[in-house]
Chain A
Amino acid sequence: MTTEATLAAPKKGLELGMMKNTLLALLIDTFLWGYVALVSYKIIYEKIILALRYPEFSWGQPVYALVIGAIITLPLFFTKCSIGRATRGLYELDENKPIFKEAFTIFGVFIILLTFVAGLLISQVSVREFLSDSGLAGARRIFVSLFQPNLKILDQAIFAAVETIYMAFIATAIALPFAFILGFFAARNLMEGSRIGMMIYTVNRFFLNLTRSIEPLVWAIIFSVWVGIGPFAGMLALMIHSISSLAKLYSEQIENISNGPIEAITATGAHPIQVIWYGVVPQIVLPYLSFTIYRWDINVRMATVIGLVGGGGIGTMLMQYQGLAKWNEVGLLVIVIASVVWIMDYGSSKIRAAIK
């Protein structure tokens, strides 16, 4: 009786797994065929046959496409061209037949090609415009001025660049302690001991992901309304983004540390704070330092971009001269920015290599 029961249980689980896989495979196939139908319709019919420049979109189209996808899937699901069944491991593959000769591989390649063509059409790639006479002349004018930088504003430019570097540094420095503490609360291995721990972990992760997924540029716009246009808004934008990025990196580092020293320090009867200080921190200081320096480096680059929307520093300066079409000045600024980025990049990689 008991043996029967134990034998039946895994078999049932297996069947359930099979059903789940088949269902998933069907869904994948329906989606892929629907995609093919939709893209073919939009590219072949609307773009090429009707030659519409901006084809209209309605929510009915993807729904129809999915229905068509389902209709195509039903007969083809049991042939060899079901990608769904291939990816869910439901085919028994002939080992001697090379995989790229299988029908589903060919279908997969076809989908990628279709996507490529669609991409070309959507980005409106036009060799004619790229090589047109008036276009080339305009580009040449700008390039020539760029290569004749106006050295008169060099000191101004360097001053603005220094402002940018300091802004990035302050943003990183202020973000550091916050990220340091949040990093511990976002590390699964430290938090999963208790229910409260897991709750803090989940909420913390959610907010970190949320703030990180909003671009610093968007934060800069928000803060420039909040505190006014200028370096302070830019700094705040960088800081928010740095906190969440650093906390994420830190917590991943914590998740990768070895448990041994933690066990050993716990076994001495140490307080949890001591366990973290002696068991966790020595394993993470160097990677932390290296992440932080790298972050500063990234922040200098981002600060330049943020300057473009009025976050202060050299980016704002670039924006102003660009608006006035003063290409010689823009040329100088581009050179200054490139040098700063290059120096920061070189310096930070050297430092990071040294502390490995």
Chain B
Amino acid sequence: MLEVTDLQKVYPNGTHALKGVTFSVEKGEFLVIIGLSGSGKSTMLRCLNRLHDPTSGSVKFNDIEVTTLRGQKIRNVRSDIGMIFQHFNLIPRKSVLTNVLSGSLGRQGIWKSVLGIWPEEEKQKAYEYINIVGLEGREHHRADNLSGGQQQRVAIARALMQNPKILLADEPVASLDPATSHSVMEYLKKVNEKLGVTIICNLHFLSLVREYASRVIALKGGKLIYEGDPSEIDQEWFERIYGEEAKEVTIN
């Protein structure tokens, strides 16, 4: 469903963040990307939906070449790919409902959405997804007043509003406590299993990786150095990915 071939990314300041990454993702997978800070994980995800433009290489999404699309065409691809972030990135001062509805912007008329006019069925859907992430009754609360875990759930609902085929998650639990982390990961699992959404997720904690991933790839210095089953990451691989000095920290 997604094929990445020899992807390179050089930032304008000269940082060579991705040095030829190749992998593919099947429908229904829960793929986790691991790697040290600065290894290029966030860059990788952002090249997939063209928040960043890759320097060379190819990204094929359902056989459409994404790297060369422009204008409305790239927006159509983006609307099929949901994304959630470490810092949630909700719209400040707006209600939970508006935040969730904003996930459907890709298919709304520009001027109607600027005036805040949403079709009734979109509102119904938004209520439904707010229910699914367990925030019923909070539709009209300000999103930026919620706790971190709740904000991330709003972000998940917003992404679901897109009817995504793929959900990208950039360290979705890195600013949450262990218990909340698990609850958010459980929601992602539910999205993956019940709604059949393919998930590509950056994670830092190997214990979470072993619990939730169906497959793992590891980046180091912008190169792909590991691809396989989460259970196969033994001490040797761990040291190769994170360096000899590293010790595993668990989260439970």
Contact = CB atoms under 8 A, between A and B. Distances in A.
Interface of A: 260-261, 263-271, 273-274, 277-279, 282-283, 285-286
Contact of B78 (A267, A279, A285): A267
Given A267-B81, A274-B113, 16 more contacts: A260-B85, A260-B88, A261-B92, A263-B89, A264-B83, A264-B90, A264-B91, A267-B49, A268-B79, A268-B102, A269-B78, A269-B80, A269-B162, A278-B94, A278-B102, A278-B113
Contact of B76 (A269, A282, A285, A286): A269
B103 interface: yes
Given A269-B105, A278-B102, A264 B89 contact: yes
B77 A282 contact: no
B51 interface: yes
Contact of B51 (A263, A270, A273, A286): A263
Interface string B113-156: 11000000000000000000000000000000000000000010
A277 B116 CA distance: 10
Q: Is the interface of B mostly helix, strand, loop or mixed?
A: mixed
Contacts of A263: 51, 85, 89
Contacts of A268: 78-79, 82, 102-106, 158, 161-162
Contact of A271 (B90, B102, B110, B161): B110
Contacts, number: 79
Instruction: Sort chain B's interface into a size bin.
Output: 20 to 34
B91 A265 contact: yes
B75 interface: yes
Interface string B65-97: 000000000011111111101011111111000
B242 to A, nearest CB: 27
Q: Is the interface of A mostly helix, strand, loop or mixed?
A: helix
Contact of A267 (B83, B87, B88, B104): B83
Contacts of B92: 261, 282-283
Contact of B75 (A261, A269, A283): A269
Contacts of A282: 91-94
A230 to B, nearest CB: 39
B87 to A, nearest CB: 6
Interface string B45-78: 0000101000000000000000000000001111
B90 A269 contact: no
Interface centre among A260, A270, A273 (most CB of B within 10 A): A270
